Structure 1
């Protein structure tokens, strides 16, 4: 499809809206898209900051189809280039990429298409674009404008600086008649200024979208058996696409293995893998042959997948910028998605150690401040949406977002936060507001450190006020009072002092929120999470998802390129009965209607006929609760092979060099996971008969009464093995 420019000298926004409907199947632009597109159409340099999922690509793809010539898109990731070009081609847009993966003949074919004026969007890497040969070639071509994607990479103040981006400044000199437009998902004020300066943009219009992602539910959970916490969340989202981020490669491998043991299709992704394996795993995830990808937070994935339903951070990211971008990979289709961050104080220590050993270890004060801000986001009981939005300099006006653990009242708060705050603030006053968080926490907790005694702080009236709670709790509460503005942290040594609101709080004038350390309420699915499932037949959605996966495999493209989850839900909600009604579904453009309309209509017809469902109506489907599933540790999993061969507990303990008690636990995991019903390999028949004959001795499932009845002749382990096999046989 080659779109024609309007008959007027300058294409209008109406032309772009027509393209949006015809190519992408949407009737209206998202917030800020229209402003950004108008800048491109008017050939005025611009910078657009739209959070992940905000629709940045449309801002340069749609106008490229309205103007004469070819738009050149600069992208840093080969995988991202391919995904975007595949998506454009599937929508009937003539586009291509040039990078190191192409053969000489493939590059020659693309050059011939460009010479014939057939390519509307050309994707290139910054290094490839800046070669003399490429620049000379493009000068002979009709370049309409340049779009710099992931533009934060040009700024040393950004979170993903890439030196090769610096050379893009030459574009304004070499192509004086082509406008340049920068796009990024994450950029603070200084980074935005730096992008405009480094690219040499002329009188650039800077547009910043709303950083809030209301369809994302944020949860910050303190680590407690972290691997099990990850497994529980994945189990809740079984069958859905998700990403799990870990700090280290070792943790990535361990987590991926644990999820595989749950019969979850999970694959690892980190920089220590070969390019081939990493690409294969990413392709499997994008094409929905794998539900979960487990990756290091330090490695950019270039994921352009719209239907990621959840993102888990098994460890704290090193900045809010990183967290906003990584968690933002969830819910790019605007459907509800969950973002869970599992953190501990040890994560801060880990990142500081990494920073100290990095190339910029001599100048990491900015990185440390970013880390502290991230830690504050995790530990403070304030609305997560509000905290993220205000971190990026925007105002959040809602009193309750309804989409985070704090506003959903899943965080356990102390009963009398004002009195507790008074104790802490009084302690800061007694140390004359001249010390940092750590020292004040130790004084309040009654530490016996020599420095505290030397300063005479063990004689203060506030010394040991929080002795029962401990240093860690005191530090947590001080952090929370800082985050809420009752305490200030200033100066080179980050000393803490009372703010004006803190001095009012001393007089009980204030409303602080302090959490109970290490305690959180249960985290049920947010009630609104079912809203976009209202009327959706889950069985039909699953059938359409399988069809999508098959079509994607046949075409060797990501599944979401066929149709996104939002479109599949509309199919399963409306259940159209004709190709004309299929065309009315959001996300169905002309090319996709032509390519896939009949296939999906036939699948809907078959399902509705078999299930005797009405057409063009909606039915609310009840969501069943998800059962918790125990995660299996790698060592336990290694024992399964021995138990399958009929080895005894003693034999396995000797082979693995483990204590008998430890191997007994492994056996329990084996019995449950493999659904073993015959206990004879580990318990003799006579003992088994005795146990099964005295089941009436079990009180509310407790084995102690039975154990005491047998007077120790039958072990707890034997009782547990027999009962587990019995339950397996009955399930």
Structure 2
């Protein structure tokens, strides 16, 4: 096994195997703690390097490390990446070919595996846990550990069975990892896994490369198309709340010239595999998906995530936008929301069969999500606050920081809305109420004789979008609600509406604004087919604008990587991330030794790809070595 062939020093393993010069943030402390045999709970944002926290100790300790994960795509990517590093890794889950499963099981029994990735269902069946009891185990890692918590947004009952691990494998250290867990969820993870003595390592949840933005829905298809035009030729994910909507929206995008695929749990298995293969291949693809897609996706160059429907909690939102910008480069997010979304989410929660204690927590999280959509201060600060983290100053890169919203005292107008809803018997939708306020003699207004009401025409001074925005914000404030089981009629929520009608509570209206059109960032030159090389790191670590020659070398390296990946049937980013290729193009190493100094080029990859890479760069090659085609 690899761990027996190298020094049991975490820093050496990090350098020799992974090609990284040093640990980041909390990584070193967590790695040293687990390597020494301690239990740990690690909270790091997506892209923060959680996998290093168990992969390095796995190679430093004797035996096989078992990594429990519910995410098939991520397991497969991790195994492929580790094998590229010369690590003997395998995965056991429902989609593994039977012959491959037998081979992996044989390697496991013969103690030839450094790391075994396994789904919780596979771990708990087929005698897997009993088989592991006869082997030397380096550690147990529980990835996506929020799935064990009843308070988490991805609760999976089978994860609770992992509480049996300490009794069955005494003395084997455990590490639980997640990117999303508030204080309540953290405590529940530790209790559910019986990790009372575990040390907790918490990193900042701030993803400085993510730009957060949210807009009220005024025409979601048009808003989405405008957003996508700014990201032409880039890869991204568009989340929808229903399966039917994913297919409908993917069809619309393809009609408009965007390469798009739908993805949801009910899709034909072959279509799902094809869509996932296209996504992993590095293609500039828009995946229109339900939340069945994205969890466990390891592609680093996802440049945007759009939500066409509001997530039900900040944790779910953070997890989903975390799929963007895993490579550290700038990435955009957009959340489109409306009053109907809020009302529908509240209705579904009210109808949930969950225990009342869980529903109370879910209700709190939903209201935090609603408040996040209507935030008038730094949106990043608001999101981090949901995880108990305080950002002292505004992030400077969310929509509210870039263009601070204007708030107006709309108490009088709010009273008009509430009065109009009440006087129309609380059975009509927003469009009808707006027509009454604006004095529009529509067919419905005339038929119901609402042109005779005292509120008819009192709001003629404001445009329809003003009133729709105010109604949406009154729904968010819970002064109004929507009859989702009926015909979508608005009705008053007395506890919140009464103080407004009496003038005892103010209503500050967020003034709607046109989306900010931003100049392209220097880091993001428009890509051609599949990418760009806007800014690279020079030898001193400082940003350097790419020259035409560097850009040409970068594209040549990408073409070589694509051909190599296709030959091995693996995703291109498993060979080298774009950031590694950018650094190679910028520094243009002339020897294997110089190439080996670049971050991300470990010993195994240097041996496997060093000469071909130098060949692409046009560097002198040893005699007799034929230069590969780029």
Q: TM range, normalised to the smaller chain?
A: 0.7 to 0.9
Equivalent of residue 562 in structure 1, options 570, 575, 600:
575
Offset at residue 308 of structure 1 (A): 1.2
Equivalent of residue 385 in structure 1, options 380, 386, 393:
380
- Paired residues of 1:335 and 1:532 also in contact (CA < 8 A): no
Residue in structure 2 matched with residue 591 of structure 1 by the alignment = 604
Residue in structure 1 matched with residue 272 of structure 2 by the alignment = 278
Q: In structure 2, what is the Cα distance between the partners aligned to 1:552 and 1:297?
A: 28
> Where does structure 1 lack aligned partners over 5 or more consecutive residues?
428-439, 454-463, 483-491, 507-511, 607-731
Q: Give the CA RMSD over aligned residues.
A: 3.5
1:95-494 → structure 2 map (5 Å cutoff): 95-131=89-125, 133-289=127-283, 291-297=285-291, 301-356=295-350, 358-360=352-354, 364-398=359-393, 400-409=394-403, 413-414=405-406, 417=407, 420-421=408-409, 424=411, 441-443=414-416, 447=420, 449-450=422-423, 468=462, 472-474=468-470
1:17 aligns with 2:30: no
- Paired residues of 2:237 and 2:304 also in contact (CA < 8 A): yes
Offset at residue 121 of structure 1 (A): 0.6
CA deviation profile, 1:561-619 (whole Å, cap 9, x unmatched): 0111211221232233333332222211111122222223322339xxxxxxxxxxxxx
Structure 1 window deviating more from structure 2 (561-570 vs 161-170): it is 561-570
CA deviation profile, 1:250-297 (whole Å, cap 9, x unmatched): 221122223323443321111220222212211210112452211113
Structure 1 window deviating more from structure 2 (311-320 vs 575-584): it is 575-584
Indicate the SS of the match to 1:560: helix
1:515 aligns with 2:510: yes
Residue in structure 2 matched with residue 582 of structure 1 by the alignment = 595
TM-score with structure 2 setting the length: 0.80
Q: In structure 2, what is the Cα distance between the partners aligned to 1:548 and 1:238?
A: 22
- Paired residues of 1:48 and 1:184 also in contact (CA < 8 A): yes
Offset at residue 479 of structure 1 (A): 8.7
Residue in structure 2 matched with residue 535 of structure 1 by the alignment = 545
CA deviation profile, 1:156-211 (whole Å, cap 9, x unmatched): 11000101111110001111111221111111111111111111114111222111
Equivalent of residue 52 in structure 1, options 41, 46, 57:
46
- Paired residues of 1:306 and 1:564 also in contact (CA < 8 A): yes
Q: In structure 2, what is the Cα distance between the partners aligned to 1:599 and 1:161?
A: 46
Indicate the SS of the match to 1:56: coil
Indicate the SS of the match to 1:553: helix
- Paired residues of 1:446 and 1:466 also in contact (CA < 8 A): no
Q: In structure 1, what is the Cα distance between the partners aligned to 2:73 and 2:321?
A: 19
Equivalent of residue 62 in structure 2, options 59, 68, 91:
68
Structure 1 window deviating more from structure 2 (318-327 vs 444-453): it is 444-453
Q: In structure 1, what is the Cα distance between the partners aligned to 2:11 and 2:335?
A: 38
> Larger Rg: 1 or 2?
1
Offset at residue 222 of structure 1 (A): 2.5
> Where does structure 2 lack aligned partners over 5 or more consecutive residues?
427-457, 479-492, 526-533, 537-543, 620-630
Of structures 1 and 2, the one scoring higher in RCO (CA 8 A, sep 6+) is: 2
- Paired residues of 1:445 and 1:467 also in contact (CA < 8 A): no
Indicate the SS of the match to 1:59: helix
Q: Give the structure with the larger helix fraction.
A: 1
1:4 aligns with 2:14: no
CA deviation profile, 1:432-478 (whole Å, cap 9, x unmatched): xxxxxxxx93457653624999xxxxxxxxxx899847654445667
Q: In structure 2, what is the Cα distance between the partners aligned to 1:194 and 1:106?
A: 36
Offset at residue 247 of structure 1 (A): 1.6
Q: In structure 2, what is the Cα distance between the partners aligned to 1:382 and 1:549?
A: 43
Offset at residue 18 of structure 1 (A): 1.3
- Paired residues of 1:381 and 1:513 also in contact (CA < 8 A): no
CA deviation profile, 1:284-321 (whole Å, cap 9, x unmatched): 10112452211113556421111212212222222211
Cα distance change on mapping 1:260 and 1:545 into 2, 3 Å: farther
Residue in structure 1 matched with residue 559 of structure 2 by the alignment = 546
Residue in structure 2 matched with residue 667 of structure 1 by the alignment = none
Structure 1 window deviating more from structure 2 (242-251 vs 230-239): it is 230-239
Indicate the SS of the match to 2:213: strand
Q: In structure 2, what is the Cα distance between the partners aligned to 1:597 and 1:6?
A: 21
- Paired residues of 2:6 and 2:13 also in contact (CA < 8 A): no
CA deviation profile, 1:101-123 (whole Å, cap 9, x unmatched): 34554333223323433211111
Q: In structure 2, what is the Cα distance between the partners aligned to 1:405 and 1:578?
A: 46
Indicate the SS of the match to 1:284: helix
CA deviation profile, 1:25-63 (whole Å, cap 9, x unmatched): 111212111121122112111111111111111100011
TM-score with structure 1 setting the length: 0.69
Structure 1 window deviating more from structure 2 (267-276 vs 207-216): it is 267-276
* Equivalenced residues, count: 556
